[in-house]
Amino acid sequence: MEHGVTPYVWLEYSAERAELFAEGITAYAAPVVYVEDTQRLAAGSDDVWIRFTRDSDRLAIALKPPGIRMPLEALRFFQRDIARLAQELLHPKEVVIPPVAMATESNKGISKEHVLEIFGGMLKFNLEQALSGAVGIFGDDGARVRKNSRGGKNSHLWNPVTLALGLNDVHRVPMPYLKKTFATHPLLREWKDAWLESLALLGE
């Protein structure tokens, strides 16, 4: 049950159970399949109670109340199920854990060159000089997330969503320009969801 092994009881024909037997069948193994019946067994019941099973033609059938009650000794299991369970317990399949994809530069930030390409034309001041400043464009690190793995002077990466929101708030870059840029620029395609989520939080 816990390991996917179905318990059975051996039923012999009687007038009270006639609906379970096809013509000419005098006995068959009836499965214990009702969830509450199997849970009762798993909880340590002192007998077997069957309220729902399958008939000799393997069709599901609800038994007339109170169902069938039999001693625990009546439980049977198919040898093939026991053999399969033993194989699984003795030789468990190795669980292969897929490697965790390492974050790439593209989903951490964009380069200064890409920032200038995307946002440079929207501003009246020298964006390149502002990006290269020791304190960042907004007076602190702000949109600057970390060093680019290529290294070198002023080789930071920039979060374009944070950068765009700051350009709107601090430098009054019109929001319609920024929205159109995130909707159309290929370099911002993977940042579009984060941008829309930020706009929703701001009520834009």
pLDDT one digit per residue (tens) for the chain, 204 residues: 455 678 899 999 998 889 999 988 999 999 988 788 888 888 888 889 888 888 988 888 888 888 889 998 888 887 787 777 777 777 777 656 555 443 344 557 888 888 888 888 887 677 777 777 645 555 445 567 665 555 555 567 888 888 888 888 877 888 888 999 999 999 898 898 889 988 887 777
What DSSP designation does 33 have?
-
Q: How far is CA 126 from CA 20, 149, 175, in A?
A: 87, 25, 20
Residue type, 96: V
Helix (H) or strand (E) holding 110: strand 110-111
Domain ranges of the chain: 8-90, 105-202
Residue 119: how many other CB atoms lie within 10 Å: 22
For residues 160 and 115, what is the distance between their CA atoms, to the nearest angstrom?
A: 7
Peptide bond just before 66 cis, omega within 30 deg = yes
Rg, the chain, Cα only: 35
